[in-house]
Each structure stands twice: as structure tokens, then as C-alpha cells.
A and B are shown apart, each in its own frame.
Chain A
């Protein structure tokens, strides 16, 4: 929680700025709409967080999301009864892709950047090969409900987001999360304490795959079938995680902060939109903000006393 404070502060400022222009944002409905929109990226960022904190990358999530949506559309083909089996299948596929990423990374010792880049190519090729170049079939109303519908005024995606967020936070507090952190921080120390480093990392990749599957369900539900639904999501997710103060290289940062990073990114988009920054220059602003935020090491609280690192470590 403490580590998530700075990014939460930034988020609150952005949200306030949005509310200033658009008072509707303060109403429950307005805020829920924002949360609903942000949910897919936040979930994807949570998944990416596990991989990054273990010291790896997952570049394959974007094409995995696309693949999942295309698969869902073709298999469901508008048939309501197919909804649940296909959702189960999507989740299995997500886990499986993560498993392959993880196994190749750990057992074959290929850098995860390359493994997941390869997976990106394989997935985007394979799924369109299978579907004949463009999505076919259709999603069922039941499937769409996850992205569109809600329980009373609360969108399903927000509820799913809450569940995923709670699960992610719980996981990071559980043994798995703690050992994952240590594996990302000091792989050797973890191994010498009996941590099955490979297994833990593979599991992290599987979580990322799972998050991509859930994201696909939400995005497919929200916006329908599209061949480019996952385009660029891998970079957005990594950016969000880093924006949350999670360090590339592993071992530092909290999952709450990573999710807050995703919210922040989404709030930033909304804000740029609201303030009428031209659609074109939006990217420029985004690029500058990302660099500045990371450069400022957004994580460290300025008022929190911490001895300079070098001092403490030099003596040990």
C-alpha cells in the first residue's frame, strides 16, 4: 500500500482534473463508466506486473487478446449455449500460452523479451491462419454481457476488475507473491532458500496469460469482434506497470501501484481528450509524461526518510 501512494496521488490529481472539466465524472455513474473503460487495461497490467516483478517481460499479451477474441467469435458463432464452454476454453488457452512462454524462458534460457516477441508473431499468425484472415462468427449476448452489462448500476467489468484486483493483491500477499518478489529481486538467494524459481516464474507468465484472457473477454464484450482489439496493448500494459513505479528488472513495486498505473494511463487519455488536445499530439504528450514519470522515479516518497542506498549496502 505504501509503495502505491505516489502513483495514487498522481491518479487523484488527474481524476480531480477530469472532474473539474466534467462534473458528471463525480457522479457514481460517471465514475463507474470510467472504471468500466479502464478495467481491461488494469487487469492486463496486473497480469503483466507478475511477469515484470519476476524480472521478465511479456510482449505477447496484445496479440493474445486479439487471438482470444477471434477464437471466441468463431467458436461461439452467436450460439448462446456455447458461451460458458468457450469462456473456459479461452482461460485455458491464456494459461497455456503463459505456460509456453514461461517454460521456454526458464528451461531453454531464452530471454523473455525474445520468447514473447516470438509468441506475439506466432499467435497473430496462427489465429488468422485458422480463421481465414479475418474474424468470423459472432459473440453471443451472454458473452457480450461481461463487457456491456452490469449488476444493477455496476458494470460487470467493474465487478470483475474488483475481483481480479483483490485476487492479485491476495496473491502478492500469499506465499506465491512473496517468493515471486524474491525470485525477481535475487534469483540465487531464492533458489538457495528452496524457492522453485522456474516454477514460480512460469506461474507468473501463466497469470499474465490468464489476465490477457480476462481482458479479451471484457474487451470483446465491450466492443465486439475486431481484428485489432489487442493492438499495442502489450506496450500500454508495460507502460502502465512502469508508471506505477514497478522497476523493470524485477523485485520492486506493488501490484496495487501497477493497477493504479493503468488507471492513471487511462485517466491521462481521458483528460487529454477532455481538454481537447489534438488526437495527434496526444501521443507526444503521452511519451513525454511516461519518460518524465519514470525519470522522476515516481515511486519514492520525498518525505519518507530512507538512508541513501549506497551507505547501507557498503557496510554490509
Chain B
């Protein structure tokens, strides 16, 4: 009972997801070897990171929203919008990078603010509120853009393409966002309060926490993460694209990754580490499928089953402990 090691702060599902990740890598190794290929080549390791960076960043933001007992279905459209805003403002000019990044961050923060205020002030269920905002952004996108637009200067594409050894810059960005979020959750008052609000809003209120403000802030942060993902994608694509967010399925997939990482959908429980594991798990799964050239329909089936089983396992563990 006494002297709980720091490691215990890694909540159980986090361990499960990383164990599952190791298991999956081992399994992938065997399968790909049987198929006559090599699994963890330099390219596939880089590929895993590249593939997971954008989803990873969105999922980190989504983690915050879900921890606070909310969720955000508007991220996919926001990503498309921010990629376009970034590319259009940059317009191929190095000098425009800073204003473009600033505009994207401001815009996404604004969207998050709207999400948060609609949920807390107008008391609309997060599901409906963010779905509504998603529709609003979709209309604006459709109205303003005919297709990919804008141009990202070469220097900004460093973000999407360069790498340091086996580590792409985009993965570093993701790691940075994750570390910041982890730091926020574990070392700042805001983080503590996000857990409190998601865990039990009444307890949080009785402890003097302004719960509404916390929810709004997490939505701002979640949207900003989506904005950062939009920037990353703009740099990858060299332009903004009105369908990049929805094609990537970043809304439901980010929620799936968060839940796969052991964060409870009801909030208050989980963390960024698990989400990182969840995203990596999905990316490794993708890589195995890629190596084996499995068609995308099988992938969907496997993904769906994996997500449900994972959450069922977490539910079982929780039950076992409380009994």
C-alpha cells in the first residue's frame, strides 16, 4: 500500500495499450517475415511516425476535451479550414509564415471558444454543439473553396518532410504537442482541473473550480491542436485542401485513438500517454496492413473490432478492481 512508485501514475490502461503495441509489433514482425518482407525498416519506422503525426496531434487535443467530459466532432473540418488559411496566407512567401501560423492559431482558438461557449453557456450537448459547428465550418469551406488552394513555401515544408535521422520533424512536432499537453495535465492547475471537471463536475464546483471556464479552455486547446495539425498537413501537402480533414477521418478516428489509449469517454480518467499509444497502435496496424497489402476494407473491420475489444477490456479491468 505504501510508497506508490511514480510509475503507478501511469494508469493501467496506458500499460495495456503499450503492451498491446509491443505485442502488435512482434506480431507484425512475424507476419511480415512470413510474407517475405522486412517489418521495421527505416522507411516503415519513418512511415509510422509520418502517418501518425497529424492524427496524433489532433488526438492529443481530443484527449483534453474528452478528459474534461466533453468531445469535439468539429476537428476534421477545422483541419481542412486551417490548412487552407495557412496556405493562402503563406502564398508561397517565406515572410508570410509567421502571420499565417498566427492566423491559424487565432482562428482555431476562436472555433474552440465557440464550441466551448455553446456547450457551457447555451447548455447544448457537446455532441450536438460540435456537430453543429462542424456543419457551419463545412458550409464555409464549400462556399469559399473549390479545391486545393494557396501555396506553402519550401521552407515551411521542412515541417512536413525533413527528418533528423529516423525521426521526422512532424513526429517531433507531435512529440512536442504531446509533451506540452502531458505537462499541462500533470503540472498545471488547468490540467488538474480538467481531470476534476471530467471526473465529477459537482465535486469540482464545490472545490471552487469554475467548471464552465475549464470546459471552454479545453475546447480552445483542442481546436488549437487541430489547427496545428492543419498547419502540418498544409506543409505536407504544399497547399491547403478542403477535404484533407474529412478524408483523414480525423473526427471519429481521433476519438477512437483516445479511447483506445484508455481514456474514459465519460471523462476524468486517462491521459496523453495512452493516447500516444493508441495512435501508434493504429499506425502500426496500418503499417502491417500496408506491408501485407491488405485491402482497406479488411482494415476497417479490424480497426472496428480492435477498438471495441480494447474498451471492453478496460471496462472489465475497472469492474474487477471495484468488486
Known: A117-B256, A122-B305. A110 touches B315 (CB 8 A): yes
Contact A290 B135 (CB under 8 A): yes
Q: Counting CB contacts under 8 A, is A226 at the interface?
A: no
How many whole Å from B303's CB to the nearest CB in chain A?
Answer: 5
Residues 284-323 of B contacting A (Cβ, < 8 Å): 295-305, 307-308, 311-312, 315-316, 319
Q: Are B256 and A108 in contact (CB under 8 A)?
A: no
- Whether B135 and A114, one on each chain, are in contact in the complex, defined by CB atoms closer than 8 angstroms, is no
Taking CB atoms, residues of chain A closer than 8 Å to B300 are: 121-122, 124-126
Are A287 and B139 neighbours in the complex by a CB distance under 8 Å?
yes
Bound CA–CA A39/B303 (angstroms): 33
A114 touching B307 in the complex, CB below 8 Å, given contacts A122-B301, A125-B299, A284-B143: yes
Q: Which parts of A106-130 form the interface with B (CB within 8 Å)? A: 108-111, 113-115, 117-122, 124-126, 128-129
Q: Which of B37-45, B122-130, B199-207, B233-241 contacts A (4 or more CB under 8 A)?
A: B122-130
Tell me which of B128, B143, B256, B316 contacts A242 (CB under 8 A).
B128
Residues of B within 8 A of A294 (CB): 122, 124-125, 128-129, 132
Decide if B139 touches A283 in the complex (CB within 8 Å): yes
**Chain A residues with Cβ under 8 A from B255's Cβ?**
113, 117
Within 8 A of B (CB), among A252-288: 278-288
Q: Say yes or no: is A235 at the interface (Cβ < 8 Å to chain B).
A: yes
Closest to A288 in B: B136
B143 in contact with A281 (CB, 8 Å) = yes
* Interchain CB contact under 8 A, B303 and A111: no
Instruction: Choose among A113, A119, A125, A281 the residue with the greatest number of B CB atoms under 10 Å from its CB.
Output: A125
A239 within 8 A of B: yes
Q: Are B136 and A283 neighbours in the complex by a CB distance under 8 Å?
A: yes
Contact A129–B301 (Cβ < 8 Å): yes
* Residues of the A chain whose Cβ atoms lie less than 8 Å from the Cβ of B266: 111
Number of interface residues of A (CB under 8 A): 43
Whether A126 and B297, one on each chain, are in contact in the complex, defined by CB atoms closer than 8 angstroms, is yes
A121 touches B304 (CB 8 A): yes
B311, A287: Cβ atoms closer than 8 Å:
no
* Interface assignment of B276: CB less than 8 Å from any CB of chain A: no
Q: Contact partner of B123 among A108, A122, A295, CB < 8 A?
A: A295
- The minimal Cβ–Cβ distance linking A201 to chain B, given in whole angstroms, is 16
Residue interface bits B226-268, CB-to-A below 8 A is 1, else 0? 0000000000000000000000000010011001000001100
Which residues of chain B from 113 to 134 have any CB-CB distance to chain A below 8 Å in the complex? 118, 122-125, 127-129, 131-134
Given contacts A125-B301, A284-B139, contact A104 B308 (CB under 8 A): yes
- Contact across chains for B303 and A121 when beta carbons are under 8 A apart: yes
Cβ–Cβ contact A291 & B128, under 8 A: yes
Q: If the complex has contacts A111-B266, A248-B128, A294-B125, are A287 and B133 also in contact, measured as CB distance less than 8 A?
A: yes
CA distance A89 to B159 in the complex (A): 52
Q: Which residue of B lies closest to A289 (CB)?
A: B132
Let me know if B136 and A129 touch, CB within 8 A: no
Q: How far is the CA of A284 from the CA of B255 in the complex (A)?
A: 24
With A and B bound together, what is the CA distance between A125 and B304 in angstroms?
9
- In the assembled complex, how far is the CB of residue A110 from the closest CB belonging to chain B, in whole angstroms? 5
Residues of B within 8 A of A109 (CB): 312, 315-316, 319
> Which residues does chain A contribute within 8 Å of B142, judged by CB atoms?
279-281, 283
Q: Are A113 and B298 in contact (CB under 8 A)?
A: no
A residues at B contact (CB < 8 Å): 57, 104, 108-111, 113-115, 117-122, 124-126, 128-129, 133, 235, 238-239, 242, 248-249, 278-288, 290-291, 294-295, 297
The 7 closest A-B pairs by CB, nearest first: A284-B139, A125-B300, A287-B135, A121-B304, A280-B142, A283-B139, A295-B122
Instruction: Give 11 A-B pairs besides A117-B307, A248-B127, A283-B142 with Cβ atoms closer than 8 angstroms.
Output: A113-B265, A117-B256, A117-B304, A125-B304, A126-B300, A133-B295, A279-B142, A281-B139, A284-B140, A287-B133, A291-B124
